[in-house]
Amino acid sequence: MTVIRQAQGLVSMFFSLRSPGIRIYQCLGKRSFHRINSIICSENVTSKFDDKPEFPGSKSEFVSKLEFIEPDNIKGIPVYRALGRNGNIIEESEDPKLDSSTVLKMYKDMTLLNTMDRILYESQRQGRISFYMTNYGEEGTHIGSAAALDPRDLVFGQYREAGVLMWRGFTLDQFMDQCYGNVNDMGKGRQMPVHYGTKKLNFVTISSTIGTQMPQAAGAAYALKRAKDGLCVICYFGDGAASEGDAHAAFNFAAVLDCPVIFFCRNNGYAIFTPVKDQYRGDGIASRGVGYGMMTVRVDGNDVFAVYNAVKSAREIAVTQNRPVLIEAMTYRIGHHSTAHDNADYRSAEEVRYWDEQDNPISRLRNYMIINGIWDEKMEREWKLESRKMVMRAFADAETRKRPSPDEMFEDVYDVLPKHLENQLEEMKNHVKQYKENYPLEHHEKLT
Ligand SMILES: Cc1ncc(C[n+]2csc(CCOP(=O)(O)OP(=O)(O)O)c2C)c(N)n1
């Protein structure tokens, strides 16, 4: 494993910029100009610089034949995988050799996440919570990456990474309390559902504004580098987020300032209804990593072991060499973008079914477990019942808890409430008291 293992296999998949660099087209040779009796003369100069460009930052050579780089003729960046669809290890050297309890936790978290998604999605459909986003199809990217990190590594998520939190020990009660915005929600009901955050588990609170987490992650990684405590940052983002200006700022700062951050792209094929073919013209997100001078690899995100191996090696690079690494995990979003959007508006049911049935990260891992004798049909049946019970219990408890008092929305920003907010608080209280029949006050803690 780690660096030695990388040298054997995976590291060859990381693209580091040790390649010759893009060469510079030059037509005229270098000449020296000087003035004799008002006539400008020139003469050929030969020096060691004649064959090597001297431009600041240049890493390449001169060429004398004009040739454009034709992106369509460059071979695509390959996709690294360890597990075949039927659950067999493809190359013995790429078997992460995880003990069976780790593999079982991986599988149980992936399937529990699935069950939780189903219940919370339905709960929104029945009007019990305001919003929800499922993680169907991307469970392998969450669990494979989370398992390869140090739990003290700092996570900046986008919003579709609930499995990372689950791996770190966020409980079903905590998920449900956040989605219900009840008194036990750490955000006190001020955030939309799925905007989780917990200092205890080193998971920075989700922000709805796409891409904001990316420069923040680069900055936090710079701070970790200065602290010299051997930790790194992981920053999750989607293929759509990669089109934001913030992505450019984050990649460039992290590369130039040598920040220990893993940029983990979940390339799930769509940004709401925009397919990747309308999102970019180049070779996905991985090709950009090389452009920014980052170690880069593309992995099969539906292969939890490939994701695990890639993140383990990327973490080693980040913390030992203080360098950013870009991982592009290829996957597919099986669920609707959120409860506010419908798949049927932009893709066919057959397309979604194909990924669900033919290339599903959960069934791939289950096949591996069955082949290796650590799972069987009876265990599957029992776990399905047990996990559903666990989710339903947490769901029922969260629903019965009261919501915070409305006056709490004014707290936790200022140490001392400024005058204009004090006035607003008073106005809100008077308004709610006057029109109490229009507000579900019985579901909230009492107004002070
Ligand atoms: C700055 C900004 N622009 C637009 C939106 C609306 N929006 C929310 S999610 C989303 C798509 C993001 O897609 P992607 O990054 O691929 O992530 P995925 O949802 O596929 O996981 C958009 C455009 C937003 N929240 N913030």
The response to whether residue 315 sits with its C-beta less than 6 Å from ligand 1 reads no
The response to whether residue 335 sits with its C-beta less than 6 Å from ligand 1 reads no
Ligand 1 atom with minimal separation from the 211 CA: 1
The response to whether residue 272 sits with its C-beta less than 6 Å from ligand 1 reads yes
**273 CA distance to ligand 1 centroid (A)?**
10
Residue 50 domain-assigned?
Answer: no
Domain extent, residue 99, equals 92-400
User: What pLDDT, on a 0 to 100 scale, did the predictor assign at position 8?
Assistant: 41
The response to whether residue 210 sits with its C-beta less than 6 Å from ligand 1 reads yes
pLDDT(436) > 60: yes
**414 CA distance to ligand 1 centroid (A)?**
30
Question: For 350-381, how does the pLDDT look when each residue is reduced to its tens digit (9 = 90+)?
Answer: 999 999 999 999 999 999 999 999 999 999 99
Measured CA angle at 341 (ends 278, 196), to 5 deg:
100
User: What pLDDT, on a 0 to 100 scale, did the predictor assign at position 39?
Assistant: 52
Buried-exposed string 24-60: b where 16+ CB fall within 10 A, e elsewhere: eeeeeeeeeeeeeeeeeeeeeeeeeeeeebeeeeeee
pTM: 0.92
Q: Which of 272, 274, 280, 346 to mutate to test the pocket of ligand 1 (most atoms within 8 A of CB)?
A: 272
Are residues 336 and 237 part of one domain? yes
Are residues 310 and 439 part of one domain? no
Ligand 1 atom with minimal separation from the 133 CA: 19
**132 CA distance to ligand 1 centroid (A)?**
14
Mean pLDDT to the nearest integer, 180-206: 97
The response to whether residue 434 sits with its C-beta less than 6 Å from ligand 1 reads no
Residue 388 token pair: 């559903």
pLDDT bucket at 40, cuts 50 / 70 / 90: low
Are residues 102 and 183 part of one domain? yes
Compute how many other C-beta atoms are within 10 angstroms of the C-beta atom of residue 23.
15
Catalytic residues: 122, 208, 337-338
pLDDT(339) > 50: yes
Look at residues 183, 158, 184 and name the one whose alpha carbon lies nearest to residue 171: 184
pLDDT(94) > 50: yes
The response to whether residue 209 sits with its C-beta less than 6 Å from ligand 1 reads yes
Are residues 381 and 260 part of one domain? yes
The amino acid present at 159, given as its one-letter code, is Y
Residue 83 domain-assigned?
Answer: no
pLDDT bucket at 274, cuts 50 / 70 / 90: very high
Are residues 254 and 164 part of one domain? yes
User: What pLDDT, on a 0 to 100 scale, did the predictor assign at position 91?
Assistant: 97
Q: How many domains does the chain divide into?
A: 3
